[in-house]
Amino acid sequence: DIVTSLDRLQSIIDTTKGSDQPIYLATWQQLHEAIEPWPKIGPHGGPLAWPLFLSDKFSSLLKHGDWIARILFLHFGIAMRLLCHRWYVRDWGRRLVLATLEALDNVPQEWEETISWIRQAAARED
């Protein structure tokens, strides 16, 4: 499930070196807090509101193709699938994930398993 996948991602982020690690961790924390109260939306709008809290630095990482940023963003798309029964969301999460995956070039080996899970989660019929 998505929480298990996020926990695996946190382990990767925790061992990541470099100046972007705090950005990854803060963004992961925001996404985790948006998803964890499910099926309740939570006080901050749940996954629907998560993009409102993204830092400019994270947005820049995503725009420039950073893989951890991409994986976090794809998890957001899967989180939106939790809301697929709401009229204002419907299949938006699935379309976001599929469009993002379509634009990806070569997937690094270390992300193949995660991308495979994301593809399966997006394709599920709920």
Per-residue pLDDT reduced to its tens digit, 6-62: 999 999 999 999 999 999 999 999 999 888 755 555 555 678 889 999 999 999 999
Q: Is pLDDT at 126 greater than 70 in this prediction? A: no
Please give the pLDDT value at position 116. Answer: 95
**How many CB atoms sit inside 10 A of residue 62's CB?**
17
pLDDT tens-place string over residues 62-109: 999 999 999 999 999 999 887 777 787 788 889 999 999 988 878 999
User: Does the CA dihedral 71-41-1-85 come out positive or negative?
Assistant: negative
Domain that holds residue 100: 2-123
Rounded to two decimals, what is the model's pTM?
A: 0.89
Number of domains into which the chain is organized:
1
